[in-house]
Amino acid sequence: MRYPESDESFRCVTSLTPTVCDLCGVRRPAQCGDEPIAAVMEAAKEQLNGDLIEKVLIFAPDAVGIHLWEKFPEHLAAVEAIAPLRIPIRVVMPSVTPVCFASMFSGALPEVHGIREYAKPVLTCETLFNVFPEADWKTAIVAVNGCSMDTIFRKRRGMTYISTPKDTDTLAFSEYLLRQPQYDFVLSYAYDYDHAGHAGGPFSADAITAFKTNLDTFQKLAALTDEVWADRNRLIVFAPDHGQHDTDNGRGGHGQDIPEDMLVYHFYAIRPARR
Ligand SMILES: [Zn+2]
């Protein structure tokens, strides 16, 4: 299998936070140390005539790394049909979920945000989930109970947290929130691919089924935003935390500084309001 060279075309996973903030006209979190992704900012400028994004959907599927796209180019094409701005991303070390999501949603490296191992404390630095509610964006995280996404961003004023038993419920609650006009920013997390990959390897039948379910979920959520947010300028992002690799014992793992674990794609779509 060929992986793309991890060259200067790759952005750090921290690039998501300043990009989303600048697109929406919301201040960046205090500890954010990265700059927006130029290709996304350029596309927004062109498509929105200088206006701001008004609604945001982020779909965050755990462990969906570049290894999957290399193997299934037809699925890559399907995601790009929804979100055509594909940004090569290098995550941070150690490449585990709480460390990577903390960087993704604060714009800060691990030595700044403080989670440097597989641990799930409530983050003390600022994140998107501070600055968006502060700017009166009604913001929600929907994720399975007890996972990193459900735990490390807690205790933010004005946030809605929905903790679910499984991914199918996460989809149902995400759809419910998107249909509530007061919600402006919905983060929907998916756990099953990572879980199935750990159990039987990143390309096991169960893992691939979960991967395909992720794609189906993204397609459903994106289509719903076109329905309920048709009159708003909106942003759709597909943003996994890290990848996964095969280990000797037939299971999947991650946490190392290798391409399978470190390289992912983030996909962005800018959709202007219907005029
Ligand atoms: Zn994992």
pTM summary value? 0.97
Q: How far apart, in whole angstroms, are the C-alpha atoms of residue 168 and residue 37?
A: 32
Say how far residue 253 (Cα) sits from the centre of its chain: 20
Comparing CA positions, the residue from 100, 89, 66 lying closest to residue 211 is 66
Distance 254 CA to ligand 1 centre (A): 6
Q: Could you tell me if residue 5 is inside a domain?
A: no
Tens of pLDDT, residues 83-97: 999 999 999 999 999
Tens of pLDDT, residues 233-268: 999 999 999 999 999 888 999 999 999 999 999 999
> By the 8 A CB rule, do 72 and 79 touch?
no
Q: Could you tell me if residue 243 is inside a domain?
A: yes
* Domain span at 92: 11-271
Q: Which long-range contacts (CB under 8 A, 24 or more apart) does 251-255 make?
A: 251/198, 251/199, 251/200, 251/201, 252/63, 252/194, 252/197, 252/198, 252/199, 252/200, 252/201, 252/202, 252/207, 253/198, 254/63, 254/65, 254/95, 254/96, 255/94, 255/95, 255/96, 255/118
Q: Could you tell me if residue 29 is inside a domain?
A: yes
Distance 112 CA to ligand 1 centre (A): 23
Distance 162 CA to ligand 1 centre (A): 21
Would you state the pLDDT for residue 275? 78
How many folded domains does the chain comprise? 1
Comparing CA positions, the residue from 62, 61, 45, 144 lying closest to residue 96 is 62
Q: Could you tell me if residue 165 is inside a domain?
A: yes
Q: Is the pLDDT of residue 32 over 90?
A: yes
Distance 258 CA to ligand 1 centre (A): 15
> Which region holds residue 237: left if phi is over 0, alpha if psi is between -120 and 50, else beta?
beta
Q: Is the pLDDT of residue 1 over 80?
A: no
Distance 26 CA to ligand 1 centre (A): 31
Q: Could you tell me if residue 115 is inside a domain?
A: yes
Q: In this structure, which residues have their CB less than 5 angstroms from ion ligand 1?
A: 194
Distance 226 CA to ligand 1 centre (A): 31
Comparing CA positions, the residue from 128, 124, 96, 101 lying closest to residue 112 is 124
> By the 8 A CB rule, do 252 and 244 touch?
yes
Q: Could you tell me if residue 68 is inside a domain?
A: yes
Distance 197 CA to ligand 1 centre (A): 8
> By the 8 A CB rule, do 6 and 259 touch?
yes
Q: Could you tell me if residue 145 is inside a domain?
A: yes
Q: Could you tell me if residue 4 is inside a domain?
A: no
CATH number for the domain harbouring residue 150: 3.40.720.10
